[in-house]
Chains A and B, each alone.
Chain A
Amino acid sequence: MASRTIAGKQVQMNDEGFMTDPNEWNKEIAVEIAREEGIADLTLTHWKVIDFCRQDGLSSGKAPTLRRITTQAGISTKEMFTLFPKGPAKKVAKISGLGKPEGCV
C-alpha cells in the first residue's frame, strides 16, 4: 500500500495502481489517471461509462465487470475497447477510483 499525489491530492493506492478508497476520488484525479493510462481526453461517452461505474461501484462495493457495464450502461463491448483500450473493465475501474474488477474466481 502506498500513497500518491494525483492532481494535487494525496490518495491511497495499491501495488497495481488501483485506488483503495473510492471516496478520495474526484474528476481531476480521473483525468490525470486516464492520461497515465494513455487516454488523452475524456469525452462525454467516457464520462457516461465512468459515471455508471462510480454509481454502481459505490452501491455494490465492487467495480463492475465488463459485461455488467455493457448490459447496464447501454454501451457495446466493441465501443468499450475503443474508449478504454486493452482491458477496458480494469482501465475504467482504475480511472473511476475503484478496486480491480473481480470477474474471475
Chain B
Amino acid sequence: MKKLLILGAGTAGTMVANRLAHLLDADEWQITIVDQDETHYYQPGLLFIPFGMYSKRDVIKPKRDFIPLGVEFITSAIELIEPEHNRVKLAQEGRYLNYDFLVIATGTHTHPKQTAGLQEHEWYKSIFDFYTIEGAVALAKELRTWRGGRLALNVVENPIKCPVAPLEFIMLADWFFSEQGIRDRVELIYATPLPGAFTKPIASKHLGDILDKKGIKVIPEFLIEHVDPDAKKIVAYDESEIEYDLLVTVPLNMGADVIARSGMGDELNYVAVDKHTFVSPTYPNVFALGDAASLPTSKAGSVAHFAVECFAENFVRYADGLEMLPTFDGHANCFIESGFGKGLLIDFNYDTEPLPGMYPLPGIGPFSLLQESEANHWGKLMFRWMYWNLLLKGQELPLPARMSMAGKWKN
C-alpha cells in the first residue's frame, strides 16, 4: 500500500482528499487526513455574520461529514514534519505517521498578538476581527447597538487570506448603517498597507472609485506599528495616526506554527513550492496546497479549488512515475459583495490582472466583471450551497480551472 498523508482538513485538504480518493485505486492507496479541529467553517460566510446576514449556524458543519469513505480522519494537532524521514509526528500520544507522499494544507491563521495593543483589554470591546467565528459573532453583537462614530478598518500586513474581504466588509458596513438609518453618523475609513484599494492596478482603480462613491475613505500605505487602545488610535511606522471609535482589524496572517517548527517555511511560515505544480523544491514527495503555500496568487478558496483540480490529475501522473505538467496558472475567481444587494466579480491569474468585461457561465451567467450587479450578489449567496454540496466533496463544477480571456476587455 502506498501512503498519502494530508495535513489539514480545511478547504484545500478536504477537496484534495475527495478528488484523490476518487482518482486513486483504493486497493493500492491508503489516504489519511489529519486536523486538530472537528469543525469545518465556511469561511466566506464569516463576513456576513457581523451584519446579521448569517448566523454561526450557517457557517459550521462537522469536518467528518466531508471526508470520503475509505479515507482515515485523525483528529490531532501536528507536532512535527520530518521530511527527511518521510514521517509526521502527531501531538496525540506522540504517534508517528509514515508517508510516501505528503500534502501540506495547514492554511493560514490570524495573529492579533503580533501587533502591540490589539489583543489586550479593549479586544472585543472597541477592537474586533471578523476572520474568526468568535470575532465575527462578537462584532455582530456590537454592531446591533452601536450608535455611530468613526469605524476604522485596518489590514495589518499582506498577504492576507481573501484579499477582497476587507473591501467587502467596508462596503457592507456602508449598506448596513444605511439600513439602520445611522449612515450620516458613521465615518468609514479603510487603512491599508497597499498603495490603493486593492493589490492589482486596474481593479484597484475600479474599486477605489466605487468606495469613493460610497463615501468610504481609503488611507493607503498605512503600515500599523501599534494600537493605543486607551486613546483609541492606530499608529503607523511612519508615525501617522488614525483615531477611531470602533476598530476592525485584519490581523497579521501566518501559516501554521508546525511549518516553522519543522523548518519548512518562509518568514511567514508559508511553504515554498513550484507555482505551477505545488511540488516542494527540496522534497520531491512533498506538496503544499491552498493558503499554506507561498505562491504569488491570492490566498482564497477559489484558488485552492482550481489548484486542487490541477493538482489531483497531475498527482496521478506523478505517482505513476511521469513528470508533473505545469498546469496551474494562479487562477482566482472572487465575488465581491458590495452591499445593497449587489456584488462584483473578479477573475485573474499569475499573468493577467482582474479586468472588466463579462464572465460567461452557461445556464446561469454571464456575470459582470469589476462592475456592480445583482446577479453577482446572487452568485455569491448561491456559492454557499455549492461549497457545502459540490465543492468540498470534490464534485465537478462548471468552472474552468484555468483562467480564460473570454469576455474580458483588455483596454
Contact = CB atoms under 8 A, between A and B. Distances in A.
Interface of A: 65-68, 71-72, 77-78, 80-81, 85-87, 102-105
Q: Which one of A67, A68, A72, A77 has the highest number of Cβ atoms from chain B below 10 Å of its Cβ?
A: A67
Contact of A105 (B225, B237, B298): B298
Contacts of A80: 237
Contacts of A102: 296
Contact of B238 (A67, A72, A86, A104): A86
A29 B199 CA distance: 29
B192 to A, nearest CB: 9
B225 A78 contact: yes
Given A67-B267, A78-B237, A86-B238, A104 B225 contact: no
B327 interface: no
Contacts of B199: 104-105
Interface string B260-281: 0000001110000000000000
A105 B163 contact: yes
Given A67-B157, A105-B199, A105-B297, 20 more contacts: A67-B267, A71-B267, A72-B267, A77-B223, A77-B225, A78-B225, A78-B237, A80-B237, A81-B237, A81-B238, A86-B221, A87-B221, A103-B158, A103-B159, A103-B193, A104-B163, A104-B199, A105-B158, A105-B163, A105-B298
B258 interface: no
Contacts of B375: none
B293 to A, nearest CB: 12
Contacts of A103: 157-159, 193
A88 B225 CA distance: 14
A11 B193 CA distance: 30
Contacts of A78: 225, 237
Nearest to A102: B296
A104 B194 CA distance: 8
A105 B159 contact: yes
A85 B238 CA distance: 7
Given A77-B237, A78-B237, A81-B238, A105 B296 contact: yes
Interface residues of B, number: 18
Contacts of A104: 158-159, 163, 193-194, 199
Contacts of A105: 158-159, 163, 199, 296-298
A1 B160 CA distance: 31
Interface string B170-193: 000000000000000000000001
A11 B199 CA distance: 28
Interface in B180-225: 193-194, 199, 221, 223, 225
Contacts of A86: 221, 238
A49 B220 CA distance: 25
Contacts of A65: 267
A65 B194 CA distance: 13
Contact of A67 (B237, B268, B296, B298): B268
Interface in B221-237: 221, 223, 225, 237
Nearest to A80: B237
26 contacts: A65-B267, A66-B223, A67-B267, A67-B268, A68-B266, A68-B267, A72-B267, A77-B223, A77-B225, A77-B237, A78-B225, A81-B237, A81-B238, A86-B238, A87-B221, A102-B296, A103-B157, A103-B158, A103-B159, A104-B163, A104-B193, A104-B199, A105-B158, A105-B159, A105-B199, A105-B296
Interface in B279-326: 296-298
A104 B193 CA distance: 9
Contacts of B163: 104-105
Contacts of B157: 67, 103
A86 B157 CA distance: 15
Interface string B335-366: 00000000000000000000000000000000
A23 to B, nearest CB: 22
Nearest to A66: B223
Contacts of B296: 102, 105
A68 B298 CA distance: 19
A103 B199 CA distance: 9
B22 to A, nearest CB: 30
B158 to A, nearest CB: 4
